[in-house]
Chain A
Amino acid sequence: MPSDPRTHLPLKPVDLVLLLTLVEGEQHGYALATEIAERTDGVVRLEPGNLYRVIRRLVDDGLVDVSQKRPVAALDDERRRYYRITALGERVAALEVQRLRALVSSRAARALPAVPASA
């Protein structure tokens, strides 16, 4: 898809978390949701309806794709659909991370006082 990655920025936080999870390997829906919940300490909890709305948006935008490869047969359930990140998706995620990194390391951001995580 000849799409400029820049047009997808900025990403919604959920989209970025999902893309970053897919960078490490293909996943099916439920595994993806539990993985995301774990990574974010339960802050981002995706229920099925919500999750697939996000996935549809990302698939329609060409950032995520339905995978053709199957994992080991023993672990596999033939009905499951696995999702993987596309090349465009990787580029968009990388650009978004760069953008955030620049934001975080800006002088104003560094000048902010430290706040305990629980507050």
Chain B
Amino acid sequence: MRPPVSWSERCYAALVWLLCPAEFRARFGDEMVDFFRDALLDARTRAGRRGIVAVWGRAFPDVVATALREHIAALASPIAAPPLTPRDPMSIRLLGDARFALRGFRRNPVFFAVAILVVALGTGAVSTIFSVVNAVVLRPVPGTRDAAQLVEVGRTRTGSRGSLSASYPYYRYLADRTRMLDGIAAWAMLPLTLSTGAQGVQGLGHAVSGNYFSVLGVTPALGTFFSGNDDAALGAERGAVVSHAFWQRELAGDSAAIGRMLSVNGRQMTILGVAPPRFSGVYPALRTDAWIPLALRPELRGRAADLNDAGSSWMQLVGRLTDASTTDRAQAELSALTAQFVAAAGDAEPRGFAEYVAASVDPVAGVPSDAARSVTTFLSVLLAIAALVLLIASVNVASMLLARAVVRRREIAMRIALGATRARLIRQLLVESLLLFGVGGASGTLLALWGTRLLQRIELPIDMPIDLDIAPDLRVLAVTLVVALATGLVFGLAPAFRGSRLDVQSTLRSDSAGSGRQRSWLRDGLIVGQIAMSLVLLSSAGLFIRALGRGQASDPGFRVDGVVTASLDLGSAGYTEARARDFVWSLADRLEALSGRAGRRLRAHPPAVHELVRARHQHSRLRPTGWAGWRGILG
């Protein structure tokens, strides 16, 4: 019983067939493919997609290295390969070309090492950035079933931008009536302090409706999830679902964790289930530690609010398209429902809400749909810059190939004299540059593997737990190789055409290997293009650095050196506003008393926070509110 042939296996078989010399292939080709299939099956059952990438990560360099060694061994062996005839199939002739090219590589190791390195750097840049694009925008939401059917639903104004979060009555109104969507779920983020013992950890949680997990099509790794539509009842049950990572980290991956108590913002809740690995809600970039019932969010944030209040809108909606519907049809239906809802709600909603009478339906893209535009723009700019790097690298290599073609003029002239057609020569030179870019692209992917690891280590200065797996996968590998081969074709063409156009007689007759011919417009063009692109890149890098510098040096209107800030989330610990104020004041007093004793100039300043924020934006003078101590700190 043989499992169906996978794409990976087909690709591998093609690689073996393309790269390895015929003799080795005939003897071990089938067995190598068998081996690869077994390894793939094993890795897939053990580690899923990551396993497949890992197998490729080992198998690809192995095939390339084996092929290279075998070819070199074949070249070194005294028995020459049979000469190629025009009647051989194209693939065999290409193979002959490749072998010839490899022989050239071997003769000029420095030239080709430099060329491959240059291509690797260029493709590595593209591959790294594309890995990020892939993880942020292209990859489906991990852990969900049929992620392509998932849509975000927003409440919008007709005519102008901006959207309104959903209130619970609005959510129910849509969820009870829609036919285009196979269920709508509501969710909202909230900061959580979770603790299983003495020490609490800060994290991010989602308050979710009862049908959230079934709409997203998520199955628990352990225990159960919320179910049903009675959100109030779910709230009363006080159950929580924790993420797989949290379970591993804080609960030691213990299967007896189900049913244990978890303190969430100071309230005791029961752990119902564990989410599958890598599932982190609709936006996989944000690390989510726990999911709690929708109805508990106001309480956990220290606010008293009724779920059925149409005036409190804080939910985001996600739905699943039925097989028969499309985003457009769903959008039309939900817009009509929204208009009906506004008419029916009347005064129950605050006045401003009545403007929002339409709905938007967008495919879930890994980033919030309102941020998607800026994220994609930012990533496109990055990708364009990386592409520019690759372009410069390619132009560089093209000039190197051109220079090599000049050096090889006598050899080429000799081959023409011996009867080689121009097409044959062009093919030979093209195969050479394709091989060069192919190997360069493969090395570029390896560079990307390292580059993404480096990127992942950068901590973004924002208050959100970002946790995104950006390691390159099969798609990145495929795109990188295609990009590398395409650039190889484009940038190999000109040198190939140029190199194969020769005046045989004069070249063979002259003794020198080709110096002092007239200047080549192609070579000049390449150099000019290269300088131009480098200048563009250099000046954009300069602008970028200046913008960064300006951002750092901006004068907020007060002295910032030596000032540190700390923030406390008292609301989630159950403080009312009045109590929180008392707490912060007394904390400030005690800190100052402490610093006095230590002889340091430490002063605490209770919240003038809003004024500070405004001052930063307006560069205006600060106006103190309430407490005079801040002046001592900020000067």
A48 within 8 A of B: yes
Cβ-defined contact, A30 with B58, below 8 A: no
Q: B544 at interface (Cβ–Cβ under 8 A)? A: no
The segment out of B27-35, B92-100, B149-157, B187-195 that lies at the interface is: B27-35
A35 → chain B, closest Cβ, in Å? 12
How many contacting A-B pairs (Cβ < 8 A)? Answer: 57
Question: In the complex, are the beta carbons of B34 and A52 less than 8 A apart?
Answer: no
Which of chain A's residues have a CB closer than 8 A to the CB of B34?
28-30, 77, 79-80
Q: Could you tell me if B32 and A49 are in contact, using CB atoms closer than 8 angstroms?
A: yes
Give min CB distance, B20 to chain A, whole Å. 8
Within 8 Å by CB of A53, from B2, B35, B36, B66, lies B66
Instruction: Write the nearest CB–CB distance from A51 to chain B, whole angstroms.
Output: 7
Binary flags per residue of B1-45, CB closer than 8 Å to A gives 1, else 0: 010000000000000000010001001101110111011001000
Task: State the Cβ distance, B36 to closest chain A Cβ, in Å.
Answer: 6
Q: How far is the CA of A77 from the CA of B31 in the complex (A)?
A: 12
Contact partners of A53 in chain B: CB under 8 A: 66, 69-70
Contact B36 A48 (CB under 8 A): yes
Would you call A56 an interface residue if the criterion is a C-beta within 8 Å of the partner chain's C-beta atoms? yes
Contact A48 B69 (CB under 8 A): no
Question: Which residues of chain A have C-beta atoms less than 8 A from B36's C-beta?
Answer: 48
Task: Judge if B62 is at the interface, Cβ distance under 8 Å.
Answer: yes
Question: For chain A residues 38-97, which have a beta carbon within 8 Å of chain B?
Answer: 45, 47-53, 55-56, 77, 79-81
User: B63: CB under 8 A from chain A?
Assistant: yes
Contacting B at CB under 8 A, from A20-42, are 28-30, 33-34
**Is the CB–CB distance between A29 and B31 below 8 Å?**
yes
Question: Which residues of A lie under 8 Å from residue B70 when comparing CB positions?
Answer: 53
Q: Contacts of B66 on A, CB cut-off 8 Å?
A: 48-50, 52-53
| Structural contact, A52 and B32, CB atoms closer than 8 A | yes
B67 within 8 A of A: yes
Q: Verify if B59 is at the interface (C-beta below 8 Å from A).
A: yes
Within 8 A of A (CB), among B34-85: 34-36, 38-39, 42, 58-59, 62-63, 65-67, 69-70
Instruction: Verify A49–B27 contact, CB threshold 8 A.
Output: no
B30 and A29 contacting across the interface, CB-CB below 8 Å: no
Taking the closest CB of chain A, its distance from the CB of B358, in whole angstroms, is 57
How near does chain A come to B32, taking the closest CB pair, in angstroms? Answer: 4
Given A56-B28, A80-B34, the answer on whether A30 and B69 have CB atoms closer than 8 Å is no
- Complex: A88 Cα to B196 Cα, angstroms: 64
Q: Which listed residue, B2, B30, B42, B65, touches A49 by the CB 8 Å rule?
A: B65
Give the number of residues in B that approach A within 8 Å (Cβ atoms): 23
Known A56-B27, A56-B28: A49·B62 in contact at CB below 8 Å: yes
Known contacts A30-B35, A30-B39, A53-B69; A48 and B30 CB within 8 A of each other: no
B58 touches A49 (CB 8 A): no
* Closest residue of A by beta carbon distance from B58: A47
The distance in angstroms between the C-alpha atoms of A30 and B35, with both chains bound, is: 5
**Interface residue from B24, B30, B32 paired with A79 (Cβ < 8 Å):** B30
Q: Which of A47, A52, A53, A77 has the most B CB atoms < 10 Å from its CB?
A: A47
On whether A48 and B32 interact (CB within 8 A), knowing A30-B38, A53-B66, A53-B69, the answer reads: yes
A48 B27 Cβ-Cβ under 8 A:
no
- The minimal Cβ–Cβ distance linking A93 to chain B, given in whole angstroms, is 23
Q: Which residue of B lies closest to A59 (CB)?
A: B27
Which A residues touch B31, using CB under 8 A? 28-29, 48, 52, 80-81
**A52→B31 CA distance, assembly (Å):** 9
Residues of chain A lying within 8 A (CB to CB) of residue B20:
49
Which of the listed residues A30, A53, A79, A81 has the most CB atoms from chain B within 10 Å of its own CB? Answer: A30
Q: Mark B279-302, 1 if CB is under 8 A from A, else 0.
A: 000000000000000000000000
The residue in chain A whose Cβ has the minimal distance to the Cβ of B27 is A56
Using Cβ atoms and an 8 Å threshold, which residues of chain B touch A56? 24, 27-28
A-B contact pairs, 9 of them (CB 8 A): A29-B34, A29-B35, A30-B38, A48-B28, A48-B35, A50-B66, A53-B66, A56-B24, A80-B31
Beyond the given A33-B35, A50-B66, A79-B34, please list 15 additional residue pairs across the A-B interface where CB-CB is below 8 A. Answer: A28-B31, A29-B31, A29-B32, A30-B39, A45-B58, A47-B62, A48-B36, A48-B63, A49-B32, A49-B63, A49-B66, A49-B67, A52-B31, A56-B27, A56-B28
Chain B residues engaging chain A, CB cutoff 8 angstroms = 2, 20, 24, 27-28, 30-32, 34-36, 38-39, 42, 58-59, 62-63, 65-67, 69-70
Residues of A within 8 A of B (CB): 28-30, 33-34, 45, 47-53, 55-56, 77, 79-81
